Each structure stands twice: as C-alpha cells, then as structure tokens.
Structure 1
Amino acid sequence: MSSKESREFDIIVLGASGFTGQFITEELARSAPKEGIKWAISGRNREKLSQVLITATKETGIELSDIAIIEADVQLDESLRAMTGRTRLVLNAVGPYRFFGEQVVKACVETATNHLDISGEPQYMESIQLKYHKLAEEKGIYIISACGWDSIPCDLGVQFLKKHFDGELNGVETYMSFKTGPQGVHTNYGTWQSAIHGFAAMGELKELRRRLYSEVFTKQRPDSKYKLERKTLPFRTEDANGWCVQFPGSDRSVVQRTQQYRYEKFNERPIQIETYFVVRGMLYLIGIMISGGLFGLMASTRFGRNLLERYPEFFSFGMFSRVGPTREQLKDTSFSIKIVGNGWADKLAEPTDVPQVPPNKKAIVMIKGKDPGYTATSTCLVQAGITLIKEFDKLPNSGGILTPGAAFDGTGIFDRLKAHDLTIELVS
C-alpha cells in the first residue's frame, strides 16, 4: 500500500470494547488530534462501543461523540474485509491471538491494510510471519506484532543500546521489575488465557522455528566464541536488586528475530539475549516457583487447562482475574527494565569476525514507564501506529511481517514514547 494512499480513516481500533481496547481508545483520543489522525473504533457490539466513547470522553476530557463506530466480527471474513478496507492501519486488540489473530491478518493482507497488534504469543507471531511475510511484502504493507509492553520496550531498548554502545556488543541481559501500590494489582483474563494455551503449544515451536529460519530467514547466524550463559535457577547479581528468575514472556524470541532480520538486511552483528524477572523477597520467590510449577503441570493437560481457565483467581493466587484492575491500582503501578550489555571496546570489521579476547566493555540502558499491562501497552501500540502513519517512508524493506525493532528503528518513535512517559535512556 502506498504511504500516500487515501482511505476514509488512518487508524481503526479493532476490539475497542475490550478491557485493553478501552485504554487504547483513550490513548489514541489524546494523541490523534495533535498528529492530524483520522480514526474510528470497531467491534461486534455497537452499544458497547458507544459506551467506550462515553467513558473515554469522561477520562480524557475530549469530546468523542463524532468518532465513527464500525461493526465487525473477527469470525466473519466479509465483515473484517469491509472494515479493514476503510483504513490505512488496524490496531488489533482482539486476543488471544492464537484463536482470533490470523483472521484479521488475512483480511488486512487481502485489502492491503497495515496491521499492528499487542500479542505476546510467540507461536502466533512466528506462524504468521512464516505464512504471510511474502504476501505482505508483495502488497507493500507492514504486519507488526508485539507492539505493546510485550515487546516494544525491550526490543527497541536493545536497539537503543546497540546504537549507543561505542564498540561491538556481544550480548545483553534484561532485568525486569514492577512496583505496585498498597492496593496491589492484577491482570485481566485474556492474558491468563493466552499464557495457558501458549504453554500448552510450546512443543510446536521447534518445528515452526526450523521452518522460519530456513524459509523467511536464510542467512546462517555467526557463531559466538563467548556464549551468553542462560541461567535456569534463581540467582542474584550486582545488576539487579533481588532474586532473578527467567522471564517467560516473548521478549527474548522477538529480539532474536529482530537481530536476525537486521543481520540479513543491514549486516549488523546479531547479539545474544537472556531475559529475567526480578523478585524482591524470598517469600515472593518461593510463591512464584510454586505457582509456576503448578501452572506448568496443569497447562500440559486438557483437564488442567479447563480448571485454569475456569478459576483464574484461585490458581494464579490473585494475580489474574476475570475482572480487570481498577484505575486506582493502575495509577500506582509502574515498571522498569534494566538492559545490561557486554561487548568489546573495538568495533569489528565484519559481523562474522571472532574476537580473540573476552568481552571487556559494559553499558546499561534503563527503561521506565507506567503500569505495563494497560497504560504502557496502550502508549506503545498507539505511538507505534502513529509512527507508521506519519513516517511510513522511513520503514524498511517496503513491507512484510516485522518485529518492532526491525520496523521502527530509524524513526522518531523514541521521542514519541518519551513524550508519553515511557523513557529509554543510557545510564552507564
């Protein structure tokens, strides 16, 4: 699709009546007027969508009664095509994406419409890339997943570190921390459901990645003499204040695909990455290990998955709920990600060169933002969408299915995020 092609709308938010869709609508309401963006919201139920605009008007102080409402059902192909054909970009908030994502991507490809979503589901993202990448290239459109908190902060943060690392970066370790207020916070049911079925389908990833890294990516990644250790047991480090455990989200796989893409397209040396979650106290650590073990055991069987889906509050020890968090809880919640990079002070002549000495240089990037599940996710998605619309000609490769770090590095997205209280800064 031409960057100058005119359509009725620049952006349509699909799934606006969902819990996350409400926050996305409010973020877009604040940002669209400043950028001259024409937008609308979409979903199955017009009455619920009308209420979304009423709530967004109340929360933002911006009158939204003139925003168009477009009815569309993700289970009806004709309905989806009618919606996607009216806009340059769909911001898709309808999950779990393993169940409802491909239908929307297919409609976007058929109508030559760009598509961003907030999936943190590796199997969905990688299967879509395998199946639709060449078709998206042919249509000149961008399909970009992981545009929420999973995984814009980490993926773009790694690219930011690479740009500011005066030398050659070998690998990064990320340390993620959360802060909540006195009321605590929990996550809504959709994320819980995605995690259940994502865990159950992990066995499919090996074959999927074998195909992805031979059919879409074709260049053999250079081997590193200095491997980044993957720590599987809880540990402590000077780089984090607390116990560190592996982070089970999509950041690692998304960054790896970004690195492979940039190696093949721009001859950048691909870096290694390991991601960790920081737990403040021993009791919390024990609780996470017990709940994680129970979750894994139950998610591996159909009977267990049914129980997990039926009783999310009980089996997650209150961390997930069918009722989303309150706005007061979200206001008191924030996150930080510390990206610690190690490498060499001297730049390599070629990405395939093998240094003869161990890494001798360290640099740190710190990322901070508001509550990750809804506020930061909405910020990331909306600012990525506005960047795509306003800076389409700066995106690489004239289309395809890309990661955020592959698509948006080289645009003004860093400034847009910073203007909306999500900062990515070099601190050491």
Structure 2
Amino acid sequence: IPGPSPSKGETIEHQKKIGLWSVVLPSADASVVRRTLSTLTENPNGLPGSNESSETVAKREAFWSSVKPAHFGVKIGEKSLLGILRIIMVGVFIGLLGNNSFGRRLLLKFPSLFSLGWFKKNGPTEEEVESASFKMWFVGRGYSNESLASQGSTKPDLEIVTRVTGPEIGYVATPIIIVQCALILLSQRNNLPKGGVYPPGIVFGPTDLQQRLQQNGISFDVVSKSTISS
C-alpha cells in the first residue's frame, strides 16, 4: 500500500468534519475488508465467473482496476463524549461477562441492565423499528496522483468523505441486503465465481448490488472531497 502506514490514533477521537466522537469497534468488518483486498491482490482482475460473457469479463476487469489497496479500520460514533463512554462501559460488561457461562447467563437474563438500556428481552417495538435508521461514514485519505503515491514516505494529500444511510440496520436493512444478494445469485449465477468461501466484496463488487440497494432505500453519497493541508 503506497505511503506510510497510518497511526493507530487516539483511543477516543473527535471527527469534527462529521460532528462525531468515535472509539475503535472490535468487529469483524476490518478483517472482511482486508480479506477482500488480499484476494484482489492475488487476483487483480477479480474472480472469474463460472460462465461469464466477454462483456461481463470486461466490466469486471474495469471495476477492479479502479479499486486501490487501503488500510481499513472501523469505529463506532456518537454525537457526545458521554455516548462514547456509554459504549465503552457496555463493551467492558460484554468483555468481562461473556468469557464464562455464569456471566453469559447474566447478560441474557438482564440485557437492559448490562447494555445500559440499549437492549431488552422483548426486543424493539414496531414503532421503534420504523423510526430507527443507520448512518455509516467513510473517511478516506489518499493521494491525488500516482507520482505522490510512488514517493513512499509522502503523507496523503486528499481526503474523501462518503456516507451510507438507510432504515433500521438489524430488522430492516439487513434483510434488504440479504434478499438483494440472493436475487443476484439467482439471476447472475454465470457471472459469479464457481464456488468457494469468499468475502462478499470480492463476489458482489462488480455486480449491480449497489444500484439494487439504492432502489430499496439504502443511499450511497459522496459528502466531500478536499485537500489535506500539510
């Protein structure tokens, strides 16, 4: 990956541009992205379909040629520092109690207590689901041209902020995503890899999944593109 490795940064960070406080989220997301990019490194044109047309081959190769390697990390954000402290407390409870059977029983028996009100046994009401939404911000830093990237030690000079938004992420957005992926598997099987265990990005990247999601209430937006002052 061109340029110096990014610093781990502060444990708690204030992203002024998007108005959020954030803390590192120890989820599988970063590993999945790294596996996608690793597979792409081994297969620069992406994974060939089981019986794809020449037009699809050209489309796949053009798509993956535009994807650059990247360092990737995930943080969870809140509008206030107090919200971040709440996230940390819940993480501590889950980390400590989830390591043994007695602790797991406590978590399952008193979810509202140990999640500080975020989760409850009965789950959300229909009204709560309908009123909820999700928002993911992506803050990317890189180079405006190849010559800068090739210098190795030069810091990134360009920042792009994008955003994905949609309805409630667990009960509404996730089924939308799964159904659209399934429809692609059914309708575009010849254009997809023959089989195997792959991260979703390397399989669905060149397909029309993003357009399908946009048609079903999940939006992808470029928020800003700016130069990073040295």
TM-score by length of 1: 0.44
Are the equivalent residues in 1 in contact too, given 2:112–2:118 (CA < 8 A)? yes
Two-structure CA RMSD over aligned residues (Å): 2.2
DSSP 3-state at the match of 1:266? coil
DSSP 3-state at the match of 1:377? helix
Question: 2:209 corresponds to which residue?
Answer: 413
CA distance in 2, matches of 1:398, 1:325: 40
DSSP 3-state at the match of 2:14? coil
Deviation at 1:415, TM superposition (A): 1.0
Deviation at 1:411, TM superposition (A): 0.7
1:1-150 matches, within 5 Å, as none
Task: From the superposition, tell whether residues 231 and 420 of structure 1 become closer, same or farther in structure 2 (CA, over 3 Å).
Answer: same
DSSP 3-state at the match of 1:320? coil
CA distance in 1, matches of 2:141, 2:70: 10
* 371, 380, 383: which one aligns with 2:180: 383
Greater length-normalized contact order (CA 8 Å, ≥ 6 residues apart): 2
Say whether 1:358 aligns with 2:155.
yes
Say whether 1:260 aligns with 2:57.
no
Question: 1:274 corresponds to which residue?
Answer: 73
Say whether 1:373 aligns with 2:170.
yes
Which runs of no fewer than 5 residues in structure 1 stay unpaired? Answer: 1-221
Question: 1:422 corresponds to which residue?
Answer: 218
Deviation at 1:282, TM superposition (A): 2.9
Which deviations, in whole Å up to 9, do the C-alpha atoms of 1:300-325 show, x marking residues without a partner?
23322222123222211222223221
Question: 2:9 corresponds to which residue?
Answer: 231
Task: From the superposition, tell whether residues 420 and 229 of structure 1 become closer, same or farther in structure 2 (CA, over 3 Å).
Answer: same
Deviation at 1:394, TM superposition (A): 2.4
Are the equivalent residues in 1 in contact too, given 2:164–2:220 (CA < 8 A)? yes
Deviation at 1:232, TM superposition (A): 5.3
CA distance in 2, matches of 1:297, 1:260: 33
Say whether 1:316 aligns with 2:94.
no
Q: Number of residue pairs matched?
A: 202
Are the equivalent residues in 2 in contact too, given 1:241–1:280 (CA < 8 A)? yes
Task: From the superposition, tell whether residues 346 and 376 of structure 1 become closer, same or farther in structure 2 (CA, over 3 Å).
Answer: same
Task: From the superposition, tell whether residues 243 and 227 of structure 1 become closer, same or farther in structure 2 (CA, over 3 Å).
Answer: same
Percent identity, aligned pairs only? 28
CA distance in 2, matches of 1:243, 1:379: 29
CA distance in 1, matches of 2:85, 2:223: 32
CA distance in 2, matches of 1:281, 1:360: 29
Find runs of 4+ consecutive structure 1 residues off by over 4 angstroms: none
